[in-house]
Structure 1
């Protein structure tokens, strides 16, 4: 699929398999999501621009690359998106955080916003939206809609799992926003869950139902 990057690194695939297992504990699931978040952050930032700076090593002066431009913004969709944040901040500790509170109406499956908070200059930064499950894509579409309303134009989406229907729906609305995911599963079931999937990521991460 165009604009979809499946991260097939062996460590990512191994950890994803462990997360799928029904008997995985809440603690174990949360730890694995944190670890995969770091690995996915490495992939989604692979092409960030660099610029050379004059520095002094203990031996000699040199010109060496540093990240160019303003710092990144990670934008987790609450609540499950928070599972990615700590791992990604380990890799990019200077990143800013935007919080997007959305929940899925159980009857309509539509996203309902209840909270939004972003850095004042978010429109001037690369924003990486975090949502572990791209199922119906209603939450991801609503989050990107909201960020575009704030003037954001450089956006990327990171998810753990995607359904083909979710990818199609998301790119039907936001075709220019690339997606990074660990896997694209078979389909959605009648309740809007990814099959075979791993269940509800938020419930498994927080021990709720």
Structure 2
């Protein structure tokens, strides 16, 4: 495999890798798949938010007063790329419940593999927020690039992309289109097949999460 862009970060934590293996198995039930996705999303969110800006505030413990660390700046913006992004979104929100939430509706034309927009609703003030776009699969990269195009057009300047699985083709496409956007994922798989699915992958994340196939 050729060298991947520096913007890519693979989270190799043992719990992340173990849960991902369980998700890949074709016999894993919808309920278990959904639960694992929520759990793994929290672990990935922990990594992607590791350098959030901090400040201090004066508090009083039961013992004495102190200057204690707290998050600085405006609240995070979490953007779910519909529909499968909602599975990651739920887990991240449990970790960061105060985050603002937006949605980008895109579906992939099965003939051209190009994204088609059908919905866009995001929080105000994206220019002043760290914005994390979430979608389980970074496959061709077309939908992800289109979503981040839309977010930047809406004012976002500090954007990150969180996914469960990535293909080399998608990582390169994202790096070419948005070299300023870090990509955090649990695994970099081998390739895309002729239908644009990640190999070995785990199938269609949305279908497996919602039980639609």
Task: Decide: shared fold, TM above 0.5.
Answer: yes
Matched, 1:185 2:183: no
| Partner of residue 173, structure 1 | 177
Aligned partner of 1:77 among 69, 75, 81:
81
Does the residue aligned with 2:107 lie in a helix, a strand or coil?
strand
User: Partners of 2:192 and 2:81 in 1: how far apart?
Assistant: 20
Where in structure 1 do 4 or more consecutive aligned residues deviate above 4 Å? Answer: none
Aligned residues: 209
Does the residue aligned with 1:98 lie in a helix, a strand or coil?
strand
User: Partners of 2:33 and 2:88 in 1: how far apart?
Assistant: 12
| Partner of residue 196, structure 1 | 200
TM-score by length of 1: 0.98
User: Partners of 1:10 and 1:165 in 2: how far apart?
Assistant: 25
| Partner of residue 10, structure 1 | 14
Quote the offset at 1:122 in angstroms.
2.1
Does the residue aligned with 1:52 lie in a helix, a strand or coil?
strand
User: Partners of 2:134 and 2:90 in 1: how far apart?
Assistant: 12
Provide Cα deviations, 1:104-139, integer angstroms capped at 9, x if missing partner.
001000000100001122222110000100000111
Matched, 1:42 2:46: yes
Does the residue aligned with 1:93 lie in a helix, a strand or coil?
coil
| Partner of residue 21, structure 1 | 25
| Partner of residue 156, structure 2 | 152
Quote the offset at 1:90 in angstroms.
1.2
Quote the offset at 1:100 in angstroms.
0.5
Question: How large is the RMSD of aligned CA atoms in angstroms?
Answer: 0.7
Aligned partner of 2:138 among 128, 134, 139:
134
Quote the offset at 1:157 in angstroms.
0.2
Matched, 1:64 2:71: no
Contact 2:126 2:157 in 1 (8 A): no
Map residues 48-127 of structure 1 onto 2, 5 A cutoff: 48-127=52-131
Does the residue aligned with 2:18 lie in a helix, a strand or coil?
helix
Does the residue aligned with 1:86 lie in a helix, a strand or coil?
helix
Provide Cα deviations, 1:123-160, integer angstroms capped at 9, x if missing partner.
22110000100000111001000001111110000000
Contact 2:125 2:155 in 1 (8 A): no
User: Partners of 1:120 and 1:85 in 2: how far apart?
Assistant: 18
| Partner of residue 33, structure 1 | 37
Can you give the 5+ residue segments of structure 2 that lack an aligned partner in the other structure?
none
